[in-house]
Amino acid sequence: MVKKVLKALTGAECVAEAMRQINPDVVAAYPITPQTPIMHAFSQFVADGKVDTEFVTVESEHSAMSATVGASAAGSRAMTATSSNGLALMWEVVHIAASTRLPIVMNVVNRALSGPINIHCDHSDSMGCRDAGWIQLYSETGEEAYHNTIMAVRIAEHPDVLLPVMVCQDGFITSHSVETSEILDDETVKNFIGEHNGHHPLLKTENPVTVGPLDLFDYYFEHKRQQLDAMERAKPIIQSIFDEFGAIVGRKIEFFEPYMLDDAEEAVICLSSSCGTLRHVVDELRKQGRKVGLLKVRVFRPFDQNKLAEMIRHIPVVGVMDRSASFGAFGGPVFMEVRNAIADESQKPLTVNYIYGLGGREFTVEQAKQVFDELRQVRESGNPGIKVRTLGVRE
Amino acid sequence: MVTENHDKKGWKEIPIGGIIEEAGNAERYKTGTWRSFRPVHHPEKCTNCMICWVNCPDTAIKAGDVNSPDKGLVGKNDDPNLANFGGFDYEHCKGCGICAAVCPTKAIDMHPETEFLDKEGEE
């Protein structure tokens, strides 16, 4: 019998709650704002004996990811969490975790990368490692971060996937804000994630294997080809796990979550907490008779280009929100994916990219309205004008 | 690097993640192809002290018995309880030259592999 309790929790506490219920064998972490409250809360669970986890307090994020990789290769269920420069310091090991096919789950509380030094939210940290081979789930709320963290364990450990999963939520906006979140009972979560036996665990001494050997021109490429395949194969598996978990929590969980898209003349594509602001503005504009909509990206890696194209090809104008910049590129990371997904469609929207919210710059209702107004101008004129725009920056 | 890949397994046939599922398989990796200098043994200077055998990082010095055709000819080489120099394992010797460097009697020297090629450039 599934029991659900409403609790007032921050996004960070939601994730710590998920981790308590997952009860990982090993957690290795180093504090960094705004991730710290996750490990603060989780280490309290360790101290109180509420989990069986071996909690490794390391001297840097490079070591945090390295210890997590070692623990996962040994066959244990291993987790960590980080933000911003901490993720940057993990960099080389982040790639090793993916290429060694270790089902690690890492919470990333999105924070701007230095410099200049800044502790507030943007997506430059996780977007920076979008090519590292990790599955990336983005969370609008603390409750979604809770759901994503639990589902991430199942996705990562699926024998046909075996890829690490990054669960992202917005620094401070989500991680430090208290909302009511529906928390499942421990038994339901335990049953949902199941047992973890590891893929060729190092500690299974009767079957010794070598992990991380030299892999030169003769086989490296074949291993990369396997990673490409795993991401592709993960798509239906992720959706089936979403469906299974969605039935428990009573929600429809999808790669791309549409809101008022069917008859939309202008729509916005966005990830994480800003979707809340945009949904509010969609409601307001709908009351005025404007046909506007929103598409929330929940899974950024693997990016399901076919599904996205199917969902937006009928919309005349689409604005794509990017909370990170790709300097020198034609637009931000989300924009590039969206443009790429619709490139071969015979009927496709005009697209405009908005770089917004960098370094925690507030994303306001007024900005969201400005976006929809500009998109309307684009639709009426048939001319996208400047395709990559910045939003909320002083001239 | 141009390699003939047709004799190797495809991506669907190999273990994921670069894992090697079989222990002790390094023997099958013929690192001898990396060699550009070849160690050459001079039995008339060799005392069978086996210091080369101790120092070889690739266990490419073979230990022979009293009947080893490659054994050193200096000093005692007829004790069945002691090993004698048993030749090189050229399939695994990378040509690092450590054996030549540590040999106290200069019984090993290194020669460029080009000296061992025939006119067609084959070994």
* B23 in contact with A, Cβ within 8 Å: yes
In whole angstroms, what is the distance from residue A300 CA to residue A70 CA?
Answer: 27
| Average pLDDT along chain B | 91
Of A295, A255, A262, A291, which Cα lies nearest the Cα of A278? A295
* B10 in contact with A, Cβ within 8 Å: yes
Beta strands in chain B (DSSP E): 37-41, 61-64, 84-88, 108-112
A102 to B16: CB separation less than 8 angstroms, yes or no: no
* B16 in contact with A, Cβ within 8 Å: yes
Asked if A332 and A355 count as a contact pair (C-beta separation under 8 A), the reply is: yes
Asked if A102 and A93 count as a contact pair (C-beta separation under 8 A), the reply is: no
**C-alpha dihedral over B8, B11, B12, B18, to 10 degrees?**
100
Please say if the pLDDT value at position B122 is more than 70.
Answer: no
| In chain B, domain spans | 30-116
Asked if A151 and A239 count as a contact pair (C-beta separation under 8 A), the reply is: no
From the CB of residue A99, how many other CB atoms can be counted at a distance below 10 Å? Answer: 22
In whole angstroms, what is the distance from residue A217 CA to residue B5 CA?
Answer: 10
* B15 in contact with A, Cβ within 8 Å: yes
pLDDT given for residue A204 in this prediction? 87
Q: 3-class SS at B106?
A: coil
Alpha helices in chain B (DSSP H): 51-55, 98-102
A217 to B1: CB separation less than 8 angstroms, yes or no: yes
Condensed to tens digits (0 to 9), the pLDDT of residues B20-29 reads: 998 888 888 8
Say which residue the tokens 């603060």 belong to: A40
To the nearest whole angstrom, how far is the Cα of B33 from the nearest Cα of chain A? Answer: 14
Identify the bridge partners of residue A106 per DSSP, sorted by sequence position. A80, A166
Condensed to tens digits (0 to 9), the pLDDT of residues A79-103 reads: 999 999 999 999 999 999 999 999 9
A102 to B11: CB separation less than 8 angstroms, yes or no: no
Of all residues in chain B, the one with the smallest CA distance to A99 is B17
Nearest Cβ partner of B20 from A100, A209, A222?
A209
* B8 in contact with A, Cβ within 8 Å: yes
Burial level of A382, CB count in 10 A (0-12/13-18/19+)?
exposed
pLDDT given for residue B123 in this prediction? 56
Sign of CA dihedral A66, A71, A77, A80: negative
In whole angstroms, what is the distance from residue B47 CA to residue B50 CA?
Answer: 8
With a cut of 70, which residues of chain A have pLDDT below it? none
* Domains recognised in chain A with CATH numbers: 4-193+223-249 (3.40.50.970), 256-391 (3.40.50.920)
Condensed to tens digits (0 to 9), the pLDDT of residues A287-299 reads: 999 999 999 999 9
From the CB of residue A234, how many other CB atoms can be counted at a distance below 10 Å? Answer: 24
Please say if the pLDDT value at position B35 is more than 80.
Answer: yes
pLDDT given for residue B4 in this prediction? 53
Alpha helices in chain A (DSSP H): 11-22, 36-47, 61-74, 84-99, 124-128, 142-157, 186-193, 220-249, 274-287, 305-312, 333-342, 365-381
Taking one residue from A and the other from B, the number of pairs with CB-CB distance under 8 angstroms is: 56
In whole angstroms, what is the distance from residue A324 CA to residue A345 CA?
Answer: 27
pLDDT given for residue A220 in this prediction? 96
Nearest Cβ partner of A211 from B1, B19, B23?
B19
Of A352, A351, A359, which Cα lies nearest the Cα of A392? A359
Q: How confident is the model at residue B1 (pLDDT cuts 50, 70, 90)?
A: very low
Dig out the tokens for B33 from the structure.
Answer: 């192809």
* Domain B30-116 sits in CATH 3.30.70.20: yes
* B3 in contact with A, Cβ within 8 Å: yes
pLDDT given for residue B26 in this prediction? 81
Of A216, A342, A78, which Cα lies nearest the Cα of B5? A216
Say which residue the tokens 């909302």 belong to: A179
* A212 in contact with B, Cβ within 8 Å: yes
Residues on chain A touching B18 (C-beta within 8 angstroms): 99-100, 211-213, 215, 219, 223
To the nearest whole angstrom, how far is the Cα of A262 from the nearest Cα of chain B? Answer: 41
Condensed to tens digits (0 to 9), the pLDDT of residues A204-235 reads: 888 899 999 999 998 999 999 999 999 999 99
To the nearest whole angstrom, how far is the Cα of B16 from the nearest Cα of chain A? Answer: 7
